[in-house]
Amino acid sequence: MVHYGHSNQLRQAKAMGDYLIVGVHTDAEIAKHKGPPVFTQEERYKMVRAIKWVDEIVEGAPYVTTLETLDKYSCDFCVHGDDITLTVDGKDTYEEVKHAGRYRECRRTQGVSTTDLVGRMLLMTKAHHSNMDSQHYQQHTDNFGKGPKGHSPWTGVSQFLQTSQKIIQFASGKEPQPTDTIIYVAGAFDLFHIGHVDFLEMVYKQAEKPYVIVGLHFDQEVNRYKGKNYPIMNIHERTLSVLACRYVSEVVIGAPYAVGKDLLDHFKVDLVCHGKTEVFPDNDGSDPYAEPRKRGIFKTIDSGNSLTTDDIVQRIIENRLQFEARNQKKEAKEMAVIEAMKKREQQEQQSETDSPCCPKIELAG
């Protein structure tokens, strides 16, 4: 998948240099080393291009990063999170560049991983945001975050904790200019995916100088009109997902469902857009877009992409057994590496203990 944890890694990487090139693996490479990908390679290429800190992408990048690859794209160094990436045979994919001193590390975003998101989709319960200690959620943790010999710090379930600093880091901080066209869109934007990216790109193209504001509905509101266990991502996670998109200027966290007079006047909205997906009525049965329609500023946008969050969930469910096997295999490999690291540390400590001691010097006083 491509999620806000990846976006945060790319944000940190960009801050380490001037120009960020992101290598994206093919479906075949991912299937070989990790298991079945959730998004296709074409979807992932486009998703990564849409992240605002990315300057360029390399399609079909090799799974093992070599010095030859860095030199080919004139890169001074490569960056990865502080978790470990292993090949199918359990080797560190960054070993060569680490030894050459051309490797940097950034902090992994706690509380999000493809493993956890896949687990949430397979869990299919309404309680996955609020009840982290429930029996069902604990079972999900056991199935998707633990291997046969213990718990890996890189794979598993932990709760994402939003901070004001994180929002500031993701936000553009740019105010709309007098010549900008202020465009407002609203929705859940759950499991931020290529359908959302294509829609926002089309919205962005509606004006010469667009300032796109995205209104995100609270979790309870999304659950009211979507039902089931939606949203998969909570409001804080969805905020970062949308803010990372290069076509978005601002996000309204917990926007009202009805796009009313106060909201339109407050943000001085010139245009309100909605995709071709169904518009659910408000609590009282009214049209949430009645006011922008009345003002003649409402427009339906055809992004040419019909992919929905439901479709993503369906992909997961159809491949349930493969994803369960993927997560357990990944966990087992990580645990093997941890055990090897511990063993090496113990051996080093033992060799230090066994080495000849320095001569003692006695001070008289």
- Residue 303 counted as domain residue: yes
- Residue 287 counted as domain residue: yes
Asked if 182 and 266 sit in the same domain, the reply is: yes
- Residue 112 counted as domain residue: no
355 CB contacts (<8 Å, ≥6 apart)? none
Asked if 70 and 184 sit in the same domain, the reply is: no
Largest CA distance in the chain: 95
- Residue 36 counted as domain residue: yes
Asked if 212 and 96 sit in the same domain, the reply is: no
Return per-residue pLDDT of the chain as tens, 365 residues: 899 999 999 999 999 999 999 999 999 998 888 778 889 999 999 999 999 999 999 999 999 999 999 999 999 999 998 877 777 777 888 999 999 999 999 988 877 787 788 778 877 544 554 444 445 444 433 333 333 334 433 333 446 788 999 999 999 889 999 999 999 999 999 999 999 999 999 999 999 999 999 999 999 999 999 988 899 999 999 999 999 999 999 999 999 999 999 999 999 999 999 999 999 999 999 999 999 999 999 999 999 999 999 999 888 887 776 767 666 666 666 677 677 778 888 887 777 766 555 444 444 44
User: Count of domains in the chain?
Assistant: 2
* pTM, to two decimals: 0.79
> Alpha carbon 248 to chain centroid distance?
16
Asked if 175 and 303 sit in the same domain, the reply is: yes
Range(s) of the domain holding residue 76? 4-106
68, 87, 106 - which closes a domain: 106
307, 334, 357 - which closes a domain: 307
CATH code: domain of residue 72: 3.40.50.620
CA distance 236 to 215: 13
265, 292, 307 - which closes a domain: 307
Asked if 302 and 211 sit in the same domain, the reply is: yes
- Residue 247 counted as domain residue: yes
> Alpha carbon 301 to chain centroid distance?
25
| Residue keyed to tokens 């605002």 | 52
- Residue 343 counted as domain residue: no
- Residue 78 counted as domain residue: yes
CA distance 46 to 332: 32
Q: How would you class 76 by CB atoms within 10 Å of its CB: exposed for 0-12, middle for 13-18, buried for 19 or more?
A: exposed
CA distance 224 to 232: 14
Asked if 84 and 173 sit in the same domain, the reply is: no
